[in-house]
Amino acid sequence: MVYKNPEVKKAAQQLKIKLEKLEDKRAILRAPELGALYGRIKTLPAGEARAEFGREVNALKAELEKLIKDSLPTTHYPLHPIDVTAPFDVNVGLEDRPKLFTADNGSRHPLTTELTKILDIFARMGFTSVQSRELDDDYHMFGSLNFPKDHPARDEYDTFVTDEGLIAPAHTSIMQNRVFKSMDMPIRAVIPGRVFRNEDLDARHEHTFYQLEGVYVDKGINAGHLIATLKAFLEEYYGQTLEVKTQPFYFPFTEPSFEFALSCPFCRKKGCHICSQTGWIELLGCGMIHPTVLREGGIDPAKYTGFAWGVGIDRLVMMKYAVEDIRHFHSGNLKFLRQFT
């Protein structure tokens, strides 16, 4: 790989020399030289030079990851057909059991890989990660989030319900009330988790997908902080300068509420098939946390304000790698998954 920027070129030479000497090759991804390059991006003036610098830094990281992968030993196992539905009997000796693949033959799912990167960005921004749940109750799904009983707004979050009345969460907002009651001020948390909805399946909609909730509560927080936080995250994640805009929307748990859109990172607002020729992509919902929701979480809305957002992790990854169909992520298609190893 040839790097045009002298800073990146010098760091690449240093990191490759260091990589050869490391016993744990993956430690190179935590090297201060690489971290300094990422820190340098935000100091550059916005524009093409900054975007090009970011692309070269990301390319260097990708090259290091490939060098790490190429350095790992490859083990080949003979394949034997097995009946995966038949449990091993206690009388079957170890020597008679079919040989199974060891874990080192697998790879991380692209959603898992990208979620790690997303959480790393927010950790550097001061946010704590809190895991969501995959089964919850009506109070945390609706009641704590300002959904009155039998209100039509609940229809937008039609999900799966057990015979016992438990709910498969339709959003990771189920954790807001718990976060408010368990964390001290200022509250800064991101909440990743799997969510479930009764959807008509197509290239952009799945009944099961991953979502990232974010909340920030402190004195004097306003919508400007919300927009700046999301813009900083998206520019870091996509490695380029982006324009953003909001438009009014409705959510029961935020007031005011917004739809958040960013300039298309693929065509740079010229119009393409990904942004439907508009130059903009509607990405997520967000807003200022409703006073009723704060009060329900034990927070005085007269003293504190906050913002929240929810974004589909699958959608972020689809945009980053131009994945045309969300169903690929859960298909188990090895041809698709091996593109990310």
pLDDT for the residue 214:
95
CA 42 to centroid of chain Cα atoms = 21
Separation between Cα atoms, residue 172 and residue 193, nearest integer Å: 6
Separation between Cα atoms, residue 207 and residue 212, nearest integer Å: 16
Separation between Cα atoms, residue 139 and residue 162, nearest integer Å: 15
Instruction: Quick: pLDDT tens for 130-151.
Output: 999 989 888 998 889 888 787 6
Instruction: Quick: pLDDT tens for 222-238.
Output: 999 999 999 999 999 98
Alpha carbon distances (Å) from 279 to 183, 242, 243, 318: 40, 11, 10, 17
pLDDT for the residue 87:
61
Is the pLDDT assigned to residue 74 strictly greater than 70? no
Separation between Cα atoms, residue 233 and residue 59, nearest integer Å: 19
Chain mean pLDDT for the chain: 86
Instruction: Quick: pLDDT tens for 187-213.
Output: 999 999 999 887 777 777 778 889 999
Is the pLDDT assigned to residue 90 strictly greater than 60? no
Q: Respond yes or no on whether the N-terminal peptide bond of residue 186 is cis (omega within 30° of 0).
A: yes
Which superfamily is assigned to 110-340 in CATH? Bira Bifunctional Protein; Domain 2 (3.30.930.10)
Pick from 1-15, 98-112, 286-300, 323-337 the range whose average pLDDT is largest. Answer: 286-300
